[in-house]
Amino acid sequence: MQNDIQKILLSKEELAEKTTALGKEITADYKGKNPLVVGILKGSILFMADLLKEIDTHVEMDFMAVSSYGNEMVSSGEVKILKDLDTNVVGRDILIVEDIIDSGRTLAYLADLFKYRQAKSVKIVTLLDKPEGRVVDITADYVGFNVPNEFVVGYGLDYAERYRNLPYIGVLKPEIYEEK
């Protein structure tokens, strides 16, 4: 599996250091608020697990799974809910956890959805931000790293459902996606 990686963009150590820093910031901002931390399946799960361990105040956690509609629908920004929250968000402080913001469609939809459902506040923490990919105007409140417009995998991010279990973020060798 590691042979398929052209270069490592963010090492395990860099990811851990940033996750600790983000956890400290989130701890300070959410002390006493008991936020609902919402992981967006599946990409966020490795980051979510590591981030939660660095947050030193009470939180609750829940998950959502969503998927974008087909390409013909891209301009609508519509996403389909595959798994909804188990938790009622009315009056709650919501912290959405994502692995990456690319076009911004997923997060724009979710942020609007939670506001519509009368959350008290909605903030976003994303490990990676790819500003060049942006189609919808959305910014995260906490960003780990900006990444270039390359196909990145690992630490939750997949190519055709593989590579999520890499402990670092890397760039795939072009022949891997060209051979399909």
Task: Say how many residues make up the chain.
Answer: 180
* Site stretch for Mg ion (CB under 5 A), options 30-38, 53-61, 64-72, 158-166: 158-166
Told to check if 144 binds ligand PRP by CB under 6 A, we report no
Q: Counting contacts by CB under 5 A, is residue 43 touching Mn ion? A: yes
Secondary structure, 3-state, 94-163: EEEEEEEECCCHHHHHHHHHHHHCCCCEEEEEEEEECHHHCCCCCCCCEEEEECCCCCEEECCECECCEC
Taking the complex as a whole, how short is the minimal distance between the CB of residue 41 and Mn ion, in angstroms? 7
Q: Is 158 among the catalytic positions?
A: no
Closest distance to ligand PRP from the beta carbon of 130 (Å)? 8
| 22, 102, 140, 155: residue in contact with ligand PRP (rule CB under 6 A) | 102
Catalytic residue among 50, 93, 99, 102: 102
User: In the structure encoding, which two tokens stand for residue 13, read together?
Assistant: 């150590």
Amino acid at 149: N
| Residue ranges binding Mn ion (CB under 5 A) | 43
Positions marked active-site: 102
